[in-house]
Chains A and B, each alone.
Chain A
Amino acid sequence: MGTLGLDMERGLFLGIDFGTTNSVVSIYNFTEGEAQTIPIDGSNIFPTAIQFESDPEDENKLSRIFGVQAKEAAIIYPLSTILSIKRYLGSDQKLTVNVDDKDYQFSPEQIAGEILGYLKQKADEYAQEEMGITGEFSGCVITVPANSTDKQKKMTKDAAIFAGFDPESIYLRLEPAASAISYAVNEEANKKVLVYDFGGGTFDACVLEIKTEEAGEPTISIISTYGDNDLGGNDIDKVIIDIVYEEFKKITGEEIDLFDEDADDGVSKRQKKVALVRLQQAANQAKERLSQTKTTKVTLAPLIQEPRIVNINMEITREQFLTHKRVNALGDSQEAYEKFCDKSVSDLIDETLNCVSRCLEAGGLAEADIDEIFLVGGSSSILYVGEKITERFGKEPFKSKISPALSISQGAAYYCNMIMMPTVRGPVVQERTIHPLGLEIAGRRFMEIVPAGLDIPKDGLTVDAPEPLMTNHDNVTSMAIVAYENTVPGLDAEKNITVNQEGMKRLAGTSLRGIPQGVRGQEKVKVIFHVGQDNMLRVMAKSLSTDGVVTELSVDELYV
């Protein structure tokens, strides 16, 4: 095969939809002029899973197993398998993996990096063998939820660096915008589109505007977004687990607590872990099946063997699936459980529709303004979702030959094309700031620095704070710099917004140290916000002291 007509100096870029449950990678195929999903281990959908085992040649080393094999291994080796790593990106929690009774610790970005590295390796092989492309993927576009925090974005980027991508060539883009690109390619009319993205771990609602100009390519801009980073298909599975667990409690007379490893109920820690993974997978299968049929069987016979045999053999109807209200914490933290306690699947789906309402409000839109609705993400294939959307908007969700499971990754591949070949024509995504960004100032008030809806140029958007910050007390040497995002519409209009109001999201905080001592108000600090095209924020705070002490800080380095 010949070489492709592209600027090889920039290298090849891979489009990655790194999902909680599944990941998909795509490449822009120049010969066919369209995005194409790369099958990994023979399948378009790659389970985001990793399992560790000791290396057969060196027992002090670990070898890794990825994807389907790792996901299936989780039942026998729950202690050495990690699923849903995306949920940990953004937290500092170390993950412990136990292999042959030895503990190993990993950071979430390391684990995510291992998985991304495998995807890169398999994509490299595919490109070389099947597409005749020489070289490897040096860059990538990874999609992130529209409502991810800067820390989540930063850790995603770190994971990609760990995976071997060139740090200068890692681009983060928003999932809903990516899914809209693959659609906008063929669009010929101006439209406002609602992307309803219900994935394994997160929910995002996003309104995009697609504008087509007669001679040019369509432009996509994000009007508004609202989402929940802790609501996904996994939480729906938990409602099914809850139904099964109620049955389990009935059978065992509540003598066994599967979620308390240390409870003195005669069931080994390992058996409990195995039982939980099996429960999880059975629940997931039951959910998928209930999208097809009105009833399904859950058979786990036995679920527990020692000290007594506990068989689960039950039927779950679609009705039950939608209306059962969760009553068990199922190992969730108190805080996490509070959100889902007494909630049914239909409640959770209603919750996503509330997010949709907030998203519409934020954009100052009504249902009638929306021309098209895209359902994206695995959980949106639950029938009730489509029904509710149709009821709400009076029209059926858009049907596309691009599968909802692949559209984000294929959109990422279109982004790759634009990066690799800056001269090519294709849908243009007008990156804009989504929500107002600002700082906390005296009296817990919010000072808006970057308004919503500003265009972000290629090399980023830089905005100075309207006025410098001043010290509040005499002789202080440090000042807290805390950045917030105002995710709730309507608040802008009010004068006094405080940072503890609902909808204010704390993005990051640090303190500027080494400010020269002086009387209150004498020292001034200049603050500059910089927003990149990936919607990632950097905050520079600079003491403007006259005696020469200048400190400059960037927020994303300070998540310690």
Chain B
Amino acid sequence: MNWKKYKSLPAEKKKDEAYYIIGLDIGNDSSAIAFYNLAENSAEAIDLSGGYGKPSIPTVMQYIPETKEWVFGEYAVLNAGAGTVFSSMLARMGRFDYLDVGGRSLSVAGVFALFIKEMLASVKNINPKAEIVGIVVSVPAYFSAQAHEELTRVFKQAGYEKELIALVPDRECVLAHHYQAPPKTPENALLLDIGSRELRGGLYSVAEKDGGISVVSLSSVFDSEISLSFLTKDINALFGSFLSDDGEVASNLKEQLKAFTYQHKDILFQKNIRTKPQKLYYNFVYPPVQHTLTNERVQELIAPYNKRFNRFIGDVMAKSLSGKAFAPAQIDTVLCVGGGFDMLWAKEAVASIFPKERVKFYKNPKMITAEGAACIAARELGIIDTPLAIEDKHQLTNDIGLSDGKNFLTLIERNGFWWQQHPSKLFLVNSAVEGEISLDIAELSPTGDGRTVSKMQLDGLPPRPKGVTRLEVSPTFHSNTELTIKITDMGFGDLFPKSNYAREFLVKI
């Protein structure tokens, strides 16, 4: 049954226990799944470990060539070294790449589909008669159109039709989780999400509008240098340093050390170590050794992250669209989600800035996005009837690129945020250059409508034959409506060396 058919069912039939409305949070490092409990009218996370560990599972797959078997999640992490391991699948979306799997070339989408299939099979573990009537997948807010397309293809290959799937930005999921009804008075909500690849922060103004929930984004900031994966790398290095005097870990132990780090890193972030040094037992080496980890050593490792995290929170509140900085007292609700909020220090950092009653910590912070995705799915299917709309002027709604009237070459993809780093791109001029050439900067809407926003006259370029004028185009945003485009001549090999030619244009979008 697809979305539409289910949507048209009468209300009482929708509540059949065999219908499953799913929220998925597919992360680069770990993934979570939740369903909307129709009997209790709330989203509920599914514990993929069966209660034995964390409810989320690592987004890791392993192929064992000898038995032609696939292993997923934790087992793939703990048994690294036995076969080929595939990770960071989400970051590969949008490139339509291929992977070498035991000598065969398989599409990334096809391989990732196996993981998705395995995750969704967990629903059958709850109820073998389960029929999935809708899936909302949370994706990063800046996910490109190509990435959207490839991820949708992944689900299709896993056996779930396009009609069943909706991809929704993760922050929308978290907000939908918290705001099931509009707040009584308008409020400012700060969302902090410590994920595996980056720290995400956003400030929103939330109010009631026409019976629904209206969310306006005031600011949003990413920082990829205090992510969990960086922290994990540091911990891995720390654990490795205890193993040998010179800090070098023998290559045959590296994989085992990684698995060891995966299993033991939480020791650093729990309360026990504050009162008593904790012991690490390196049982994978022979003879086995032990090392005592002190709180001082842990604090030393965390300190730079802590400092940067505090600065980050300040940034989110300072970089508002209006240019006006917010003070902690102006924030009504702080939502703390993502696996990083399992760490005591992160919670304490937030608690030291905002009053306790305004901060929302969760028992399983990693599961909130998936639960929120399930809430959105329920909303789409008419189970929850309060609409939620997010308006975000920070986010680019159109592709921005170069146009010659016929062709459009993308420079900046839509869905990105103006304050992100936008890389330079190289273009070849497809005609002979003599004197002056003109280029258009254009916007292309998702529906394919192009609009020229600025014309650039490039005069004084060194004259060259057709096809050998290579220009670097570098965009720098000043605000959500204004950017500078810098054009630099890059030359073409030894025959046409680069000149000092450079021009800057102020462009308004």
Where the two chains meet, the residues of A that have a C-beta atom closer than 8 Å to any C-beta of B are 24, 37, 41-45, 65, 69, 72-73, 75-76, 130, 274, 278, 281, 289, 292-297, 301-302, 305, 381, 396, 399-401, 403-406
Q: Is the CB–CB distance between B128 and A399 below 8 Å?
A: yes
Name the contact of B281 in the complex, choosing from A45, A76, A305, A403 (C-beta under 8 A): A76
Taking a contact as CB atoms closer than 8 A, the residue among A41, A43, A292, A294 that contacts B272 in the complex is A41
Q: Does B71 contact A (CB under 8 A)?
A: yes
Q: 24 A-B residue contacts at CB 8 Å?
A: A24-B51, A42-B342, A44-B51, A44-B52, A44-B53, A45-B51, A45-B52, A69-B279, A72-B281, A73-B279, A73-B281, A73-B290, A76-B288, A278-B283, A278-B288, A292-B71, A293-B71, A296-B79, A305-B286, A305-B287, A396-B128, A399-B125, A401-B47, A406-B51
Complex CA gap A2/B251 in Å reads 56
B interface residues, how many (CB within 8 angstroms):
35
Within 8 A of A (CB), among B260-288: 266, 270, 272, 278-279, 281, 283, 286-288
> Roughly how many angstroms separate A281 CA and B284 CA in the complex, as a whole number?
11
Residue B224 lies at the interface, judged by CB distance under 8 Å to chain A: no
Which one, B46, B66, B281, contacts A295 given CB within 8 A?
B66
Partner of B67 from the list A24, A75, A294, A301 (CB cut-off 8 Å) is A294
* B67 and A295 contacting across the interface, CB-CB below 8 Å: yes
A403 in complex: contacting residue of B51, B270, B278, CB < 8 Å: B51
Structural contact, B50 and A403, CB atoms closer than 8 A: yes
Question: Please, which residues of chain A bring their CB within 8 A of the CB of B66?
Answer: 295
Which B276-333 residues sit within 8 Å CB-CB of chain A? 278-279, 281, 283, 286-290
- Contact across chains for A293 and B47 when beta carbons are under 8 A apart: no
B79 A65 Cβ-Cβ under 8 A = no
Determine the distance from Cα of A479 to Cα of B27 in the docked complex, in whole angstroms: 72
**A257, chain B: closest CB distance, angstroms:** 21
Judging by beta carbons under 8 Å apart, are B286 and A302 in contact?
yes
Q: Is the CB of A405 within 8 A of B279?
A: no
Chain B residues near A404 (CB-CB < 8 A): 50-51
Contacts of B49 in A (CB 8 A): 403
Query: In the complex the two chains form, what is the Cα distance from A305 to B285 in whole Å?
Result: 13
Nearest CB of B to A262, in Å: 22
B266 nearest CB neighbor, chain A only? A42
Main secondary structure, interface of A, reads: mixed
Query: Within 8 Å of chain A (Cβ to Cβ): is B127?
Result: yes
CB closest residue in chain B, given A72: B281
Q: Kindly list chain B residues whose C-beta atoms are within 8 Å of the C-beta of A130.
A: 363
User: Is the C-beta of B124 less than 8 angstroms from some C-beta in chain A?
Assistant: yes
- Contact call B270/A41, Cβ cutoff below 8 A: yes
Answer whether residue B495 sits at the interface, using C-beta atoms and an 8 A cutoff. no
B290 and A69 contact, CB distance less than 8 A: no
Does A405 contact B283, Cβ atoms closer than 8 Å? no
Within 8 A of A (CB), among B32-91: 44, 46-47, 49-53, 64, 66-67, 69, 71, 75, 79, 82
Question: Nearest CB to that of A34 among chain B residues?
Answer: B40
Chain A hits for B278, CB < 8 A: 69
Binding site for A on B (CB under 8 A): 44, 46-47, 49-53, 64, 66-67, 69, 71, 75, 79, 82, 124-128, 266, 270, 272, 278-279, 281, 283, 286-290, 342, 363
Which A-B residue pairs are the 5 nearest by beta carbons? A403-B51, A72-B281, A405-B51, A406-B51, A403-B50
Are A75 and B128 interface neighbours, CB within 8 A?
no
CA distance A75 to B124 in the complex (A): 39
B458 CB to closest chain A CB (Å) equals 61
Given contacts A41-B270, A293-B71, 13 further A-B contacts (CB under 8 A): A24-B51, A72-B279, A72-B281, A73-B279, A76-B288, A76-B290, A278-B283, A301-B286, A400-B126, A403-B47, A404-B51, A405-B52, A406-B51
Whether A293 lies near B69 (C-beta < 8 A) is yes
Cβ-closest chain A residue relative to B364 = A39
Kindly list chain A residues whose C-beta atoms are within 8 Å of the C-beta of B279. Answer: 65, 69, 72-73
Contact B281 A75 (CB under 8 A): yes
* Closest beta carbon of chain B to A394's beta carbon, Å: 14
- How far apart are the CA atoms of A136 and B10 in the complex, in Å? 49
Chain A residue at minimal CB-CB distance from B270: A42
Q: How far is the CB of A147 from chain B (nearest CB, A)?
A: 24
Query: Once bound together, how far apart are the Cα atoms of A406 and B50, in whole Å?
Result: 8
When the two chains form the complex, which single residue of A24, A43, A401 contacts B53, counting CB atoms closer than 8 Å? A43
Distance of A406 Cα from B125 Cα, bound (Å)? 16
Pick from B47, B71, B266, B288: contact of A75, CB under 8 Å: B288
B288 CB contacts on chain A under 8 angstroms: 75-76, 274, 278
Residue ID in chain A nearest B82 by CB atoms: A297
Kindly list chain B residues whose C-beta atoms are within 8 Å of the C-beta of A406: 51
Chain A residues with CB under 8 A of B53: 43-45
CA distance A297 to B83 in the complex (A): 12
Q: Is A72 in contact with B283, judged by CB distance below 8 angstroms? A: yes
Identify which of A289, A401, A403 gathers the most chain B CB atoms within 10 Å of its CB. Answer: A401
Q: How far is the CA of A268 from the CA of B125 in the complex (A)?
A: 49
**Chain B residues in 8 Å Cβ range of A43:** 53
B69 touches A401 (CB 8 A): no
B46, B51, B75, B128 pick with most chain A CB within 10 angstroms: B51
A403 to B49, CA, bound (A): 9
Tell me, in angstroms, the Cα distance from A274 to B285 when the chains sit together: 13
B69 in contact with A294 (CB, 8 Å): yes
* Chain A residue at smallest Cβ distance from B272: A41
Residues of B within 8 Å of A297, CB to CB, are 82
CA distance A406 to B266 in the complex (A): 21
Please name the residue on chain A nearest to B279 by beta carbon.
A69
Chain B residues with CB below 8 A from A72, complex form? 279, 281, 283
- Complex contacts, A44 vs chain B, CB 8 Å: 51-53
A274 to B289, CA, bound (A): 12
Closest to B286 in A: A302
Name B49's closest neighbour in chain A (CB-CB): A403
In the complex, which residues of chain A have a beta carbon less than 8 angstroms from the beta carbon of B128? 396, 399
Greatest chain B CB density within 10 A among A44, A296, A400 is at: A44
Across the two chains, which residue of chain A brings its CB closest to B66? A295
- Which residue of B is nearest A281, CB measured? B283
A293 touches B67 (CB 8 A): yes
Closest residue to A44 on the B side, CB-wise?
Answer: B51
Q: Which residue of chain A is the closest to B75 with respect to CB atoms?
A: A292
With A75-B281, A305-B286 as contacts: A293 and B75 at CB distance below 8 Å: yes
Min C-beta distance of B290 to chain A, whole Å: 6
**B46, A401: Cβ atoms under 8 Å?**
yes
Instruction: Output the least CB separation between B507 and chain A (Å).
Output: 51
Give chain A residues whose Cβ lies under 8 Å from the Cβ of B283: 72, 75-76, 278, 281
Residue of A nearest to B269 (CB): A42
Given A45-B51, A278-B283, the answer on whether A399 and B69 have CB atoms closer than 8 Å is no
How many Å from the CB of A290 to the closest CB on chain B?
Answer: 11
Residues in chain B near residue A296, CB distance under 8 A: 79
Question: Do A289 and B50 touch across chains, with their CB atoms under 8 A apart?
Answer: no
| Chain B residues within an 8 Å CB radius of A403 | 47, 49-52
Q: Which residue of chain A is the closest to B363 with respect to CB atoms?
A: A130
Which residue of chain B has its CB nearest to the CB of A285?
B78
Smallest CB gap from A378: residue in B = B52
Residues of B within 8 A of A400 (CB): 126
Q: Collect the chain A residues with CB atoms within 8 Å of residue B290's CB.
A: 73, 76
Q: How far is the CB of A441 from chain B (nearest CB, A)?
A: 48
Once the chains are docked, how many angstroms separate the CA of A76 from the CA of B292?
14
A72 to B53 Cα, complex, angstroms: 17
Per the bound structure, the CA–CA distance linking A405 and B278 in Å amounts to: 27
Q: Which residues of B contact A293 (CB under 8 A)?
A: 64, 67, 69, 71, 75
Complex Cα gap A274–B126 (Å)? 41
Name the CB-closest residue of A to B124: A399
> What are the residues of chain A within 8 A of B69 when measuring CB–CB?
293-294
Rounded to whole Å, the gap between the CB of B263 and the closest CB of chain A is 9
Q: Provide the bound-state CA to CA distance between A294 and B270, in Å.
A: 36
- Contact among B50, B79, B287, B363 for A405, CB-based, below 8 A: B50
**Interface hub of B49, B125, B288, B342 (most chain A Cβ within 10 A):** B288
Contacts of B71 in A (CB 8 A): 292-293
Contacts of A42 in B (CB 8 A): 266, 270, 342
State in angstroms the CA–CA spacing of A43 and B342 once bound together: 12
Q: How far is the CA of A229 from the CA of B26 in the complex (A)?
A: 43
